[in-house]
Structure 1
Amino acid sequence: MDAWLDRVFCEDALAGMARIPDGSIDLLIADPPYGLGKDYGNDSDKLDADAYLRWTEQWIDAALPKLKPAASLYIFLTWRYSPEIFVMLKKRMTMINEIIWDRRVPSMGGSTRRFSSVHDTIGFFARAKDYHFDLDAVRIPYDAETKKARSRSIFVGAKWLEVGYNPKDVWSVSRLHREHRERADHPTQKPLEIVERMIKASCPPGGVVFDPFMGSGTSAVAARRCGRHWVGFELNPAYCRLIDQRLAELDTATEEAEAE
């Protein structure tokens, strides 16, 4: 196995990206700092708007050569910068979807001078027309009531009715509140459900997922759960230890399940 696979490098992605061979990545999942001044244990999210966009263009140009011809990219963004970054990416790739992640935020409090923001924006881009996409791996099963309502002869044996429907471009998945069983000590941790959907749809079995900003390590955990390889970078040593801990816990749980 290549020495760079299934590892998180505790360093800046721009400094370390040369470790990854060009043309080796099947799927890039990026959850970069949003430019909102979040505390990640460093100053990585404290750039002004112009500097933030220059930095974004810099890491995108460094990362894209790492992708295989049929590779895809998903990027988590805030509405504040998604228009500029989408334009940036559309000059380099083909945009497939804008996905809205509805975080299921309770209707409490919020601003009195604008509508409350309760979503993240996700861009889905591909390098080529023949990009990998396995729809069957992420279909959502129809419930029994829906199947019963489609009992006429024209629906009998219909594949789509048996395997489920295509997820829409609005993904309603609860954010990880403090009591959530997945929750780790990270301010912007993403749910496994979302990241696993990306991986199952856009990374072939045994393929490689690359995350330049690993954070709590959800992409690594999701990749391992889905039978894919992974590689990533993380600046904060505390988060690097957290990633190792989450992977070790996953391995322990897997071994215990197999022993039963």
Structure 2
Amino acid sequence: MTNTLYYGDNLKVLQSHIADESVDLIYLDPPFNSNANYNILFKSPDGSDSDAQINAFDDTWSWGPDAEESVDFVTASGNHKTHDLLEAMLGFLGKNDMMAYLAMMAARLIELHRVLKPTGSLYLHCDPTASHYLKLLLDGVFGAENYRNEIVWKRTNIHNDSKTWSKIADTIFFYSKSKNFSWTEPREPHSESHIASKFKNDDNDGRGPYSLSDMTSPNPRPNMMYEWKGFPFPPKGWRYKLETMQRLHDENKIWYPTDSDGYLDTKRRPRLKRFLNELDGNIMSAVWTDINPLNSQAQERLGYPTQKPLALLERIISASSNEGDVVLDPFCGCGTAVDAAEKLGRKWIGIDVTHLAINLIEQRMKDSHPGVQFDVKGRPESLDSAMELARRDKHEFEKWIVPKLDGHLFEDGRKGADGGIDGFIYFKPDGKKTQKAILSVKGGDNVGVAMIRDLVGVMEREKALAGVFITKALPSKPMMQEAAKLGLFESEVSGRKHPRLQIITLAEVFQDRRPDLPWVVSPFRKAQRHDKSGEQGKLI
């Protein structure tokens, strides 16, 4: 299976493109129905955080035809337990926003269960807003017997929440498809205080510090009752067979007590040397406090509002999959799961419903893993498919093409009056001062010279040095002449002159033509490059 990013509704993508029992691990971090608009904060032209934001997704749900369709999907799936559960929830909650969200999730969880291998696992990341309802849905789809853990991740520091305990944690539900699931036991390092108190001994022979442990049997073992080096056997015998004792002695792993004169003190008992560097860390609990959230200064931070730390996904992927396995994230956002999967030598599938997220992930993967190979499906990859998108949904067409041209969408890409502006491109003609170009996108079949005059007016109003007119239809000769009237601007960076108003057709975009602007500032933050070790390390 090829590494693939899909643009589109994840339910439809799962149904159309992902085969039964083809995925080893699923991680999903769906919107939490928190009635909040999440915005992605782009890097401003001077490299600092900007107030210019692009809407990433709106996680507010409302009951309507889509919710009804999700309930019908669950009914038709034949999963009677989940259907009955959803009906009970509907009776309790009524047809409200929360119920719309749960209906959407129920349909997708059924599809995710279908594509998961019998040895596979699913991790659902959520907050307390709907976690109690989601747990019931997971029980209905996967079976309560396949519930493994409720992981609590401390995602933030303590803050003042009025008249409640401070809300600092997310929940991650861990389910498997069967009792025979892939698992590599994760370990965490011993604490410094534990090492200082328990590993006080060192023979200074290069093996490092060690602790001493009991060598006596906890239960009566007659075959272990033998004298060892003058030491009588304990009342219940030794813990080890004679040949094992000899091997441990030869390896200098037995500590022998001595008296004040340096002779063996046979009134006391030998003890086993346990070297720190030979011991695994502690078994990891389901409460994770050692992975810090991404603060505003974190190097891996891309500005995506719900971005999770790479270490969080690395822990999950390392524990519940093996190299070469397929990892799926159906709400892939800014791509942390697929980034971690690539880093750990897994194959991956990412799905998202926004062009913005797909563009961001594509850039992130190229920055983090130079030379990485993957497919992008569902977005326009040919002139015909782009023209079809423009015909079907002009707003989605705008949201696709503006980021493709390194532009910032205007007003978060929301529908409504745009004042003649669909986006901005920031650039530095002198290498210092940032200027802007106004983007105007026309996906219709008819364009005319009046549209060029309108763009000129917007440029004057916004004090923009340049303008770019993107059109699906071919421009007329009067349009080209009107654009040429604005003349040229000179750039110290490029050492030449550039047209102030440029007309670019959709066909030219697919011939790799881009706005002729010097020193364009990319809207995407550059992701950290990862050095791929080629093998998975210990889970500590």
| Residue in structure 2 matching 1:10, options 3, 7, 12 | 7
- Deviation (angstroms), 1:175: 1.2
In structure 2, the CA distance between the partners of 1:187 and 1:20, relative to structure 1 (3 Å rule), is same
In structure 2, the CA distance between the partners of 1:251 and 1:165, relative to structure 1 (3 Å rule), is same
Q: Which residue of 2 aligns with 1:45?
A: 59
In structure 2, the CA distance between the partners of 1:159 and 1:227, relative to structure 1 (3 Å rule), is farther
Q: Which residue of 1 aligns with 2:211?
A: 151
Give TM-score, length-normalised by structure 1: 0.88
- Does residue 23 (structure 1) correspond to residue 21 (structure 2)? The answer is yes
Mean CA deviation greater in 219-228 or 240-249: 240-249
- Does residue 162 (structure 1) correspond to residue 279 (structure 2)? The answer is yes
- Deviation (angstroms), 1:146: 6.0
Q: Which residue of 1 aligns with 2:393?
A: none
What are the equivalent positions in structure 2 for 1:69-108 lying under 5 Å apart? 69-93=118-142, 94-105=146-157, 107-108=158-159
| Residue in structure 2 matching 1:174, options 267, 292, 312 | 292
| Residue in structure 1 matching 2:176, options 121, 126, 143 | 126
- Deviation (angstroms), 1:247: 0.8
Mean CA deviation greater in 238-247 or 36-45: 36-45
Q: Which of the pair has more CA radius of gyration?
A: 2
Distance 2:343 2:135 in 1: 30
- Deviation (angstroms), 1:153: 3.8
Aligned-pair Cα RMSD in Å: 2.4
Q: Which residue of 1 aligns with 2:117?
A: 68
In structure 2, the CA distance between the partners of 1:74 and 1:254, relative to structure 1 (3 Å rule), is closer
Distance 1:162 1:249 in 2: 37
- Deviation (angstroms), 1:205: 1.4
- Preserved CA contact (<8 Å) 2:123 2:175: yes
Structure 1: 4+ residue segments shifted above 2 A: 37-44, 141-147, 153-161, 252-258
Mean CA deviation greater in 85-94 or 48-57: 85-94
- Deviation (angstroms), 1:227: 0.7
Distance 1:244 1:43 in 2: 18
Distance 1:10 1:64 in 2: 21
| Residue in structure 1 matching 2:30, options 9, 15, 32 | 32
- Does residue 222 (structure 1) correspond to residue 270 (structure 2)? The answer is no
Q: Kindly provide the amino acid, as one letter, of the partner of residue 187 in structure 2.
A: R
Distance 2:28 2:353 in 1: 14
Distance 2:197 2:24 in 1: 36
In structure 2, the CA distance between the partners of 1:159 and 1:88, relative to structure 1 (3 Å rule), is farther
Distance 1:183 1:45 in 2: 21
Distance 2:359 2:292 in 1: 26
- Deviation (angstroms), 1:12: 1.3
- Preserved CA contact (<8 Å) 2:125 2:171: yes
Q: Kindly provide the amino acid, as one letter, of the partner of residue 34 in structure 2.
A: L
Give TM-score, length-normalised by structure 2: 0.44
- Deviation (angstroms), 1:139: 1.5
- Deviation (angstroms), 1:161: 6.5
Distance 1:166 1:182 in 2: 28
Mean CA deviation greater in 147-156 or 191-200: 147-156
In structure 2, the CA distance between the partners of 1:257 and 1:76, relative to structure 1 (3 Å rule), is closer
Q: Which residue of 2 aligns with 1:140?
A: 188
> What does the per-residue CA deviation read over 1:90-112, in whole Å, with 9 as the maximum and x for residues that have no partner?
1232110000011132x34x332
- Deviation (angstroms), 1:11: 1.1
> What does the per-residue CA deviation read over 1:131-172, in whole Å, with 9 as the maximum and x for residues that have no partner?
11101xx32232543661561144645899612122111111
Unmatched 5+ stretches in structure 2: 39-54, 62-96, 201-209, 215-271, 371-528, 535-540
Q: Which residue of 2 aligns with 1:186?
A: 304
Of Structure 1 and Structure 2, the greater helix share is in: 1
- Deviation (angstroms), 1:6: 1.1
Distance 2:312 2:321 in 1: 14
Mean CA deviation greater in 221-230 or 234-243: 234-243
- Preserved CA contact (<8 Å) 2:23 2:120: yes
Query: What is the DSSP-based 3-state SS (H/G/I as helix, E as strand, rest coil) of the residue aligned with 2:121?
Result: strand
- Deviation (angstroms), 1:83: 1.1
Distance 2:277 2:284 in 1: 12
Distance 1:237 1:123 in 2: 28
- Preserved CA contact (<8 Å) 1:147 1:161: no
In structure 2, the CA distance between the partners of 1:176 and 1:43, relative to structure 1 (3 Å rule), is closer
Q: Which residue of 2 aligns with 1:238?
A: 356
- Preserved CA contact (<8 Å) 2:28 2:331: yes
Q: Kindly provide the amino acid, as one letter, of the partner of residue 211 in structure 2.
A: S
Query: What is the DSSP-based 3-state SS (H/G/I as helix, E as strand, rest coil) of the residue aligned with 2:341?
Result: helix
Distance 1:177 1:158 in 2: 38
- Preserved CA contact (<8 Å) 1:185 1:216: no
- Deviation (angstroms), 1:37: 2.4
Q: Kindly provide the amino acid, as one letter, of the partner of residue 39 in structure 1.
A: N
Distance 1:148 1:63 in 2: 47
Identity of aligned residues (%): 30
Mean CA deviation greater in 246-255 or 113-122: 246-255
Q: Kindly provide the amino acid, as one letter, of the partner of residue 57 in structure 1.
A: A
- Deviation (angstroms), 1:113: 2.6
Unmatched 5+ stretches in structure 1: none
Query: What is the DSSP-based 3-state SS (H/G/I as helix, E as strand, rest coil) of the residue aligned with 1:58?
Result: helix
